Structure formats: structure tokens, C-alpha cells
Amino acid sequence: MITIRKANWDDKDELYALAISPDVRMASFDSSEIDYQNHLIWYKKLLDSVNEWIFILEDSGKFSGQIRFTYDSTTSRCKVGISLLKTIRGKNVAVNFFYKALFLLKKEVRSCETVAAYIKENNIQSLNFFKKAGFVFSKKVKINESEAQEWLLSLSKVCIIAELSANHNQNIDTAKKTIDAIKECGADAVKIQTYTPDTITIDCKNDYFTLQQGTLWDGRTFYDLYKEAYTPWEWHDELKDHAESLGLIFFSTPFDFTAVDFLESKNVPMYKIASFEITDVPLIEYTASKGKPMIISTGIAEISDIQDAVEACRRAGNSDITLLKCTSSYPAPIEEANLKTMVNMKETFNVRVGLSDHTMGSDAAIAAVALGAVVIEKHFILDRNIGGPDAAFSMEPAEFKAMVNSIRNVEKALGMVTYKLSEKTMKSREFSRSLFAVEDIPAGEIFTKANVRSIRPGYGLPPKYLNEILGKKARVSLKRGNPLTWGVIDN
């Protein structure tokens, strides 16, 4: 069982042994020998620091690695370093370890916007890890004479999730090809659903268990629908490995306690609660108790249901909550999106928000990002013509890619709060208005509205000084078209 916790003084010896191991020294930018006493001094300072944190990875209660964050408040950036014992490498836990540590880091510092990793260019294993964890290459750097790369993970970037759902049509090759396409289209994560027909409903054909709510699936029983739609549990390992090998985050929606336990054994980094499970408070609380980020859809929820779900997470000690505005119609009419509710949820429940979108097209998703969504989820299918329970309201690759591009452009456009002008806009200020001589003005002549005007371009004094200048005399002769400066005005 993989667990993570904040470091304490008792970890000093395990951390020292890890730090002096040959492979860790080789990956370090400082290969000098580490003295034990100096290590203790350094470690004591780190534990007392307000901007550095170490988290410990344990495998079945045994020390297995560490991850360290150093926060720079001037840049809102955390530098990260990770090292694992050889015994834990190859178990496919590093990405999960990182995201669990990130969850704990957010409790320590809420203002971190970017995580930066610096890796030697010849450290292929670490480069692959940070790529899998969602980092993107920034630039090449040189650290202590070593050629290195800077990789960045934006914590403010919208997380775009492609929902695989039933769009594999019970064919694992189709599922893997879909994941390939999801990566090519620019998604950050792929999500599946973890249930069986027997864990989500019962095989019963009476009216209670027959769909008749005006859906795409009316006339079918719940059991029959979920038998067609579920993702076989024996696929999870292969799909997770495939997605993470491409640098995608892989996680799932559990529909009962057994699914949560199963997904915990797979070390998924986060959980999603489906709209129709938002009323299952015990399931939400049990899932939240695993200490991972919780994403909760609200498609069939009244405000009291949302309140119950949020309180369940917080009772379990988990405040890493993202609520998704959702309309549980398939497809959903865009006029029922009511995206302003998403903004209100953020204010009402003090959580992050996003959109699980079942409308056709990308308009709602793009608008949600402009309103502050940090998560966008859309169903993804290779080709709607292959059919399946969710095909009709799923996005094809070209549509999904266009949506991703639009979202990334909206993010760029939103930018940040700043009144500082860029180099280009500073240059454009030359086109602004300023005070110029519009007639020849001999030295000693009085400035009047006839011989001085506010015109373009902007090389003269700002127009706000016009009234102050009028009535004063020219210190020197000015030609028509000369800009006014304080040096040509006789006080």
C-alpha cells in the first residue's frame, strides 16, 4: 500500500542514505560528498523553513522515497525534486506520488502557480517521469556546468479531461487508439468509469429498472445498458500504463466502495464523482478519505445535495474539491447550461469549479473557461459512426482539438491583472496624443489654443498640461510640427 506524509525529524537517516546513494548523487547538480553532520544541520533548517517542504513516500509502511518543494513567493513558483529507492522504481507509482504530494503542498501554500523541475539532459528516466506527470518543456539551462532542461507544470492551467466512457465498444484496441487520439488532441487527462452492471444496479426488468425518462436509451433496462457500457476491470492496468506512457493523467469515476478500493490499488491520482452519485454521501465520504483531489459533477443536484457532498469531503479531511456544473441531458440543450451557476458555486462553497459538458459543440466549454472554470470534461470518441451508448453526444478528434486550441487561446487572453505595458504597447504609445506647435512660434511669443494643440503622435508633453502651458511664453523659437517639452517653455 502506497502512502504519503509530511517529513519529520525521524526521517533524517533514511533521507541521508537516499541522498548519498550513487544514482541520486549522479542525478544531482551538486555531486560533492555529503557529510552527515552537515546533513543534519541542513535538514533541521528545512523542517523549520516556511517555504520548503519534504514529503515521504512509504510502501507498506517502509520509507521508499522523498519529494521536496521550494517555494519562491516573488514568482509564485515551486521548484521540485524527487528521488525514489531502487526497490520502488518500476512500480509505476511516481506520478501518483507526485500528485498526492501536490495535494499536500496546496495545504501549505495556496499561492503556488507553477511547479518547476530542473533535470540533467542525460537523465532520461527523470525526463520521462516529468513528461508523464504533465510537465512541459520550457528551455535548456546550465546548472553547475551541467547541461539541463527546465520543465514546468502550470497549476493555473485549465485541466481538459477526455471522458472515454463507453466509447470503446468493449474493444481494448479501440480504447487504446482512443487514448492515442486524446493525447494528439491536446487533452491533459483521460477518465474512465469503474463499475460492473452488478455494482451499479441489479438485473431486473420491472418498470423501476427500465429507462423511460426521455433519454437516448429509453426502453432499455439499466442492467442491459451498463452491461454494454462498462469498462472491464481487467483493462485498467493496461489502459493506465498506456495513458501515462503518453504523458496523460489517468483516473476514473468509482460507483461503489469496491471500485474505490480497486482504484486505490491502481494508484490513481484523483477521483471523479458522477452526477447521479452525488446523493450517495457515504460513497463520497469514503472516496474523499483517500486524500486525493475530488471532482464532483452536479448534473442532477439541488443546492442541498451539493452542500452535503462538499461537507462529506471536508468531514473526511479533504478540501481539494472541484465542483463541475453539469446538465444531465444527453445531449444537453445549450440554453440549459446556466454557466452563471458555476460562478455562484465557487462563491457559495469556496471551491474550484469547472464544467462537465454534454452540449453539442464547444461554445459552452469555452465560455466556462472565460468565467473561471479550471476543469473542462467532454466525452471523446474516435468516430460517432462506430456507435455505442454515448456516441451521439461525444466529440470527435477534430472537434475536440479545436476546442482545446480555443480554450488555450482564451487562457492566453485572460492573462493576469496588470497595468504594465508590454514592449509592443509601449511602442504604440508613440501614436497617442500629445502637445505640438501647430504654427511657427517665435521665441517670447505666448502659447495659445491657436498655436498649440493636442494631436497625434505622442512625442510631446501629455495633453493634461495644456491649460498649464497656455499663457506662458516660448523660451526658444519653435517650428510648426515641433513637440512641446518643458525645456521650450519659459516659466
> Which of 241-245, 298-302, 372-376 bottoms out in mean pLDDT, i.e. has the lowest?
241-245
Q: What is the chain's mean pLDDT, rounded?
A: 92
Confidence of residue 134 (pLDDT cuts 50, 70, 90): confident
Cell of 202: 441489479
Task: Determine the Cα–Cα distance for residues 101 and 200; give it in Å rounded to an integer.
Answer: 32
Q: What is the pLDDT of residues 263-280, one digit of tens each?
A: 999 989 899 999 999 999
pLDDT tens digits, one per residue of 223-248: 988 898 899 999 999 999 899 878 78
Q: What is the DSSP string of 67-115?
A: EEEEEETTTTEEEEEEEE-TTTTTSS-HHHHHHHHHHHHHHH-TT--EE
pLDDT at 131: 84
- Over residues 452-469, the mean pLDDT reads 97
The pLDDT of residue 339: 97
Sign of CA dihedral 440, 441, 446, 449: positive
Report the candidate in 162, 60, 155, 142 with the shortest Cα–Cα distance to residue 101. 155
User: Cα 113 vs. chain centroid, distance in angstroms?
Assistant: 10
Q: Is the pLDDT of residue 1 over 70?
A: no
**Per-residue DSSP letter, 28:** S
pLDDT of residue 340: 97
d(CA 323, CA 296): 5
Please give the average per-residue pLDDT across 81-103, as a whole number.
80
**Amino acid, res. 478:** L
Contact status, residue 57 vs residue 84, Cβ threshold 8 Å: yes
> pTM value?
0.77
**Tens-digit pLDDT profile for residues 179-203:** 999 999 999 999 999 999 999 999 9
CA angle, 132 then 136 then 140, to 5°: 120
> Which residues touch 69 (CB under 8 Å, ≥6 apart)?
52, 53, 54, 55, 78, 79, 80, 101, 105, 115
Percent of the chain whose pLDDT exceeds 90: 67
Buried b or exposed e, range 238-250, using 16+ CB within 10 angstroms = ebbebbbeebbbb
Amino acid at 240: K
Strands 452-455 and 473-474: unpaired
pLDDT of 349 strictly over 70:
yes
Q: How confident is the model at residue 479 (pLDDT cuts 50, 70, 90)?
A: very high
- Per-residue pLDDT, averaged over 374-389, amounts to 94
The highest-confidence range among 27-31, 298-302, 415-419, by mean pLDDT, is 298-302
Q: From CA 95, how far away is CA 121, in angstroms rounded?
A: 20
Give the contacts of 209 (CB within 8 A, at least 6 positions apart). 201, 202, 221, 222, 223
Is the pLDDT at 3 greater than 90? The verdict is no
Q: Which stretch of 49-63, 202-216, 364-378 has the lowest confidence by average pLDDT? A: 202-216
State the average pLDDT over residues 406-434: 90
Residue 406 amino acid letter: S
Q: Is the pLDDT of residue 177 over 90?
A: yes
HEC letters along 129-151: HHHHCCCEEEEEEEECCEEEEEE
For the cut 80, the answer to whether the pLDDT of residue 91 exceeds it is: no
Q: Per-residue b/e over 91-104, b at no fewer than 16 CB within 10 Å?
A: ebbbbbbbbbbbbb
